[in-house]
Amino acid sequence: MSPTTKEQIDARAAEEAAAGGASKRAYVRGVFETIAPSYDLLNHLLSLNIDRRWRKRALVALGWEREPAGCYVDLCAGTMDVATALASSPRFTGTIVAADFAEPMLRAGRGKERSGRTHPVVADALRLPLRDGSADGAIVAFGARNLADLDAGLREVHRVLRPGARFVILEFTTPRARVVRALYHLYFRHVLPLVGGIVSGHRSAYRYLPESVAHFPAEAEFAARMTAAGFSSVAFQSLTLGIAAIHTGER
């Protein structure tokens, strides 16, 4: 198989997975199992460390101070950056269920958090091993666009939250300003796949990222889908020229 043909096949697979459907779950899990060893390095490198600041703002939006001893869910937890940040927050005395269906990602995050408050669980966000109304809050950082069924995922989170609990979604978006959008697409579609592919050895994984962002609903549409899933007080705020956004809703 020629390199050009292989690249075309990889690009087509990434686009099809980003669009959703039966193949998305297996594709996404395979991608993250493969890139787990280099995931943290590339996250911080490719975002110029801005992702750390975004996660901090998402945790502020979670409002965990209302129930500092509660049980919180970190969905699509990956290498557990969010869970680690929450567990190490002053006055936090609760527990965190860090759920991800790609076990190598959770393994790559072992050792980050030593308080014993984080409990990694290999689980699909569409089928959480939690009772109805058992969680005091939930958060997902850059994982919502990877769900095989976004609406089913929203309903599942709604199920496990207690009444009044908050759900926070931090996710990439497409900037609205024309110049920013052009630069964003240049970086996401050319620079990011090249650097990500070289470092991780899995170039198609970093083709999937821009495709998945392109297929993710815009802020207003996503807010409407959160409302349709049963959430109230739904709101969103754009971050860094519209590159990302924080969505919030309550059970």
User: How many Cα atoms are found within 13 Å in the side-chain-facing hemisphere of 49?
Assistant: 0
CATH 3.40.640.10 correct for 3-250: no
**Residue-level pLDDT at 18:** 80
Low-confidence ranges of the chain (pLDDT < 70): 1-11, 203
Q: Are strands 118-122 and 95-100 parallel, antiparallel or unpaired?
A: parallel
**Residue-level pLDDT at 1:** 46
Boundaries of every domain in the chain = 3-250
Tell me the C-alpha to C-alpha distance, in Å, between residue 30 and each of 127, 202, 205, 237.
Answer: 19, 11, 9, 32
**Residue-level pLDDT at 111:** 85
Q: What is the pTM of this model?
A: 0.92
172 touches 244 (CB < 8 A):
yes
